[in-house]
Amino acid sequence: MSFLYKSTFSGKIKVGVTGMSNIAVSERQKKEYAQTVKQVKPKPRLWRNVFWAFVTGGLICLAGQVILGFFRTQGLEVNAAGAATSATLVFLAAFLTGIGIYDEISRFGGAGGIVPITGFANSMVSPAMEYRSEGMVFGVGAKLFTIAGPVLVWGIVTAWVAGVLYYFFR
């Protein structure tokens, strides 16, 4: 007996009864099924993921600190050294994405590879590279901003709101 039609079939079974095929799935059935799915679904390997996210993200930031220190010894002031560090990390991430290594880092390190600015660079390069076959305008040009676009929109709007609020309520 088809599990979706159990209740209907408890009476006389008449194959081909019209209307039978139009019985929609009830909310109760959906809930029951969601329970079953929950039981069968494997749990995410949370602790493992968290550990490697910590290590990967930590190492990228540590590398950032080393680069920052280097620029500071070259006589750059704090903000300029920070900007130079960002640019360097972005360059490295773009390069590692190009040679097919960065996606392995994030596959392994999860958010550890996504949250740092290197992950931001990866999210720009990877679609742009992949959609180059769609041309220089709609391919590379547009797809660079697939994920960077939303990030910039949210970042810029939030910062603007912060500035405006500061103007009125400082």
What number of chain residues touch another protein (CB under 8 A)? 110
Closest CB 91 distance from another protein, rounded Å: 5
Residue 143 CB-half CA count within 13 A = 17
Site for another protein in 5-44 (CB under 8 A): 6, 15-16, 20-21, 25, 27, 29-31, 33-34, 36-37, 40-42, 44
Site for another protein in 52-71 (CB under 8 A): 53-69
Q: How many Å apart are CA 45 and CA 111, to the nearest integer?
A: 14
From 83, 101, 146, select the one nearest 120 (Cα to Cα).
Answer: 146
**Is 3 or 75 the residue whose CB approaches another protein more closely?**
3
For tokens 């679609």, the residue is 127
Binding residue for another protein (CB under 8 A) from 8, 70, 76, 140? 140
Give the x-and-dash track for 92-131 against another protein (CB under 8 A): --xx-xxxx-xxxxxx-xxxxxxxxxxxxxxxxxxxxxxx
**Phi, psi for residue 145 in degrees, rounded to 5:** -105, 15
Residue 158 touching another protein (CB under 8 A): yes
Burial tier of 114 (Cβ tally within 10 Å: 0-12, 13-18, 19+): middle
Closest CB 130 distance from another protein, rounded Å: 4
